Structure 1
Amino acid sequence: MKVKLGVIGFGGMGKWHAQNAPRAGVEIVAVCDIEEKKQMEAIEMGYKLYKTAEELLADPEINTVILTIPNHLHKEMCLLSAKAGKHVITEKPAALNVEELNEMDNACKEAGVFFTCHQNRRWDRDMLTVKKAYEEGMLGNIFTIESKLHSGNGYMHEWHIYKKFGGGMIYDWGVHLIDQILFIMPNAKVKSIYADVKNVLHEEVDDYFKIMMKMDNGITAHIELSTYILDYQPRWLVGADKGTMIVKTFACDGDIYRTGKMLEKLPPQITETEAGPTRQFAPVPPGGIVTEPLPVIHSDWTDFYKNIDDVINGRAEVLIKIPEVRRVLSLMEAVRKSSEIGEAILFE
């Protein structure tokens, strides 16, 4: 059975799905949006248009829908779609909380339709570079992973600036960044989580957060996001006992650093530096650190839709499983609670 998709919501991501899903063999049957401007854009781009979700869901040719609408509408539209017998894909976050997700999951199971979430950042090459280093032991025993995402653009846009619509950066990118850490090391449990969440430029919603997750494999994961840090940090830093990996940007520029000659002991003399007299933090002698290129990773976001096609036709298991989505939402709830009480939360 061919995936015949209806796109509910024709904003930025709705357009992205409509234009990119066909690269994976998906047929776009129709789109819908309630805003006149977006309706005109859909017509100009040549898409079959419905003005309401109910009209789109009544189309018998559509067997699957993607919900690219504000976050607070995901549950309502998922329940309507399941009742109409359509397979359901939500944009992230799948729901505003675990309670909503459970209601959506149960409705899809009762209707006998497929349900998943578009966690496309599992196909990001920068993250997959870190995952490869973890899985293959390229750096030895990892003790820290830092995931940082900074922007100088400052203010958010459209409905994302309103709490009632499910705005804010925890819902927007936090869901991705937490999911990536769990995807890198899927068998590790989160022992505890501590978070600091701030509203720097926005009154209603968060635009900065720092999350520290202590895993039971000895790794501490640090996640930091800001919409208003003007000189960006590397996207990833991985520290281990046999080397350090720096991935600077999404473009995967960076290096692996290793010691050319591991010092058995510190030199006997104290070195005068800008920080004063020190041995431990004196400059490393020439040749003391060598670099290697990062491994080359190939990936394509549209593989998400290839998996959807395989799942619907019984050829594969779904890659984005609802229990994984539930775990991420649970951690997001713990992030907010930790920030509110100023304490770490014991998790798994």
Structure 2
Amino acid sequence: MDIRLGIIGFGGMGKYHASIAPEGGVKVVAAADILPERVKEAEDQGITGYHSAEELLADESVNTVILTVPNYLHKEIGIKAAKAGKHVISEKPCALNVAEVEEMEAACKEAGVHFTVHQNRRWDKDMLTVKYAFDNKLLGNIFTIESTLHSGNGYVHEWHLYKKFGGGMMYDWGVHLIDQILFMMPDAKVKSVYADIKNILHEEVDDYFKIIMKMDNGITCQIELGTYILKYQPRWLAAGDKGTMVVQSLGRQDGRIYRTGKVLEKLPPQIAETEAGPTRQFAPLPPGGIVEEELPAIQTDVLDFYRNFRDVLNGEAEQLVKISEVKRVLSVMAAAWKSAETGEAISFE
């Protein structure tokens, strides 16, 4: 069985799927949007256009839908799609909370259709580089991972400005950044979640957050996102007892691994005089004290998401993005909101 896709919501993400899904072997057969100009855009691309989700769901040539509508509509339309016998792919976040996801999951099980979420950031080279270091103990025993995403663009756009539509950066990017950490170390449990969530330029929705997750494998993970931070920090920093890794940019592999060139068995015998005053622990390292290495080469292809879902439909593969994983991410997000409200770390798992 091939994927014959109907796109519900032909805005930015809908157009994105229309442009790349065919490269993954998907046939895009229909698109629906409430705006006539977007329906025409779809038709101009040779895609059958509809003015409502209900019209598209009645199209028997569609066997799978992807939900690229505002977040608050995912549950309602996803359940309608399941009842119409369509396999369901939702853009992230799948829904606004775990209870909504469970309603969608139940509807899909009752209808006998498959259900997944487009967590495309699992294929990002920057994250997979850090995951490779974790999986292969490239840095020894990692004790801290920092995931940082900064932008100077400031203002949130379109419906993301409104809480009632599921706006804000926790729903927009927090779901990705938390998912990446949990995907990176799936066997680790989250011991606690602490979060600071702010409204810097927006009264209604969050545009800054910092989340600290303490894992039971001894790693402390820090996630920071800011839409109005004007000097960007590296996308990733991971440190272990055998080295430190820095990955600079989103979606790229522009960074280095740093190791000690000479293992110092003891501190220098004398205190060093520095601009910051006398110090021994933080004195400059001698020449050759730090050596650099290239990052490991990582191959990745986001089109594997579509290929996997096609294979799932044919009973040839296990689903890569599982609904249990989606619910776990939303549970961490709920703990983060509770922590931000109370000012306390929330015990978890």
| TM norm structure 1 | 0.99
Distance in 2, Cα, partners of 1:37 & 1:49: 10
Q: CA deviation at 1:44?
A: 2.7
Inter-partner Cα distance in structure 1 for 2:9 and 2:275: 57
Identify the residue that residue 309 of structure 2 maps to in structure 1.
308
Q: Is the partner of 1:256 in helix, strand or coil?
A: strand
Instruction: Specify the alignment match of 2:260 in structure 1.
Output: 259
Residue type of the partner of 2:165? Answer: F
- Residue 46 of structure 1 corresponds to 46
Deviations 1:236-293 (A, max 9, x none): 0001000000000121100000000011111111111121110111111111000000
- Taking the aligned partners of 2:45 and 2:200, their CA distance within structure 1 comes to 38
Q: What is the distance in 2 between the residues matched to 1:39 and 1:323?
A: 34
Which segment drifts farther, 262-271 or 233-242? Answer: 262-271
Superposed displacement of residue 215, structure 1: 0.3
Secondary structure at the counterpart of residue 34 of structure 1: coil
CA distance in 2 between partners of 1:159 and 1:213 (Å): 29
1:65 matched residue in structure 2: 65
Match of 2:97 in 1: 97
Corresponding residue for 1:164? 164
SS at match of 2:334: helix
* Alignment correspondent of 1:238: 238
Partner of 1:77: 77
Query: Match for residue 12 of structure 2?
Result: 12
* Partners of 2:261 and 2:289 within 8 A in 1: yes
Amino acid aligned to 1:215: M
CA distance in 2 between counterparts of 1:83 and 1:144 reads: 45
2-side partners of 1:40 and 1:14: how far apart?
Answer: 13
The CA distance in 1 between the partners of 2:96 and 2:255, in whole Å, is 35
- Counterpart CA distance in 2 for 1:300 and 1:33 is 29
Contact 2:247 2:255 in 1 (8 A): yes
- The CA distance in 1 between the partners of 2:25 and 2:55, in whole Å, is 24
- 1:334 alignment counterpart: 335
Is the partner of 2:213 in helix, strand or coil? strand
- Give CA deviations for 1:45-86 in whole Å, capped at 9, x if unaligned: 332101111110001111000000000000000010001000
Equivalent in the alignment of 2:279: 278
What is the CA distance between 1:208 and its match in structure 2?
Answer: 0.3
Task: Return the alpha-carbon distance in structure 1 between the equivalents of residues 108 and 46 of structure 2.
Answer: 31
The 5 A counterparts of 1:173-212 are 173-212=173-212
Counterpart of 1:224 in structure 2 is 224
User: Could you tell me whether the CA contact under 8 Å between 2:150 and 2:232 is conserved in 1?
Assistant: yes
- The alignment covers a number of residue pairs equal to 348
What code does the residue aligned with 1:342 have? G
Letter paired with 1:209: F
Determine helix, strand or coil for the equivalent of 2:224.
Answer: strand
The Cα of 1:43 is off from its aligned counterpart by 2.5
Partners of 1:274 and 1:91 lie apart in 2 by 52
Contact 2:197 / 2:206 at 8 angstroms: preserved in 1? Answer: yes
Deviation at 1:115, TM superposition (A): 0.4
Task: Look up the equivalent residue of 1:22 and give its one-letter code.
Answer: P
Q: In the alignment, which residue of structure 2 is the partner of 1:140? A: 140
Q: CA RMSD in A?
A: 0.7
Following superposition, the deviation at residue 298 of structure 1 comes to 1.0
Tell me which residue corresponds to 1:295.
Answer: 296
Deviations for 1:289-347, whole angstroms, at most 9, x for unmatched residues? Answer: 00000001111111100000000000000000000000000000001000000000000
Other-structure match for 1:113: 113
- How far 1:198 moved relative to its partner? 0.2
Q: Distance in 1 between matches of 2:162 and 2:124?
A: 28
Letter in 1 for 2:329: V
Q: Which runs of 5+ in 1 are unaligned?
A: none
Match of 2:34? 34
**Amino acid of the residue matched to residue 343 of structure 2?**
G
Runs of 5+ in structure 2 lacking a partner? none
Partner Cα separation in structure 2 for residue 274 and residue 307 of structure 1: 57
Distance 1:80 1:166 in 2: 19
Q: Distance in 1 between the 2:149 and 2:239 partners? A: 18
Q: Aligned with 1:298: secondary structure? A: coil
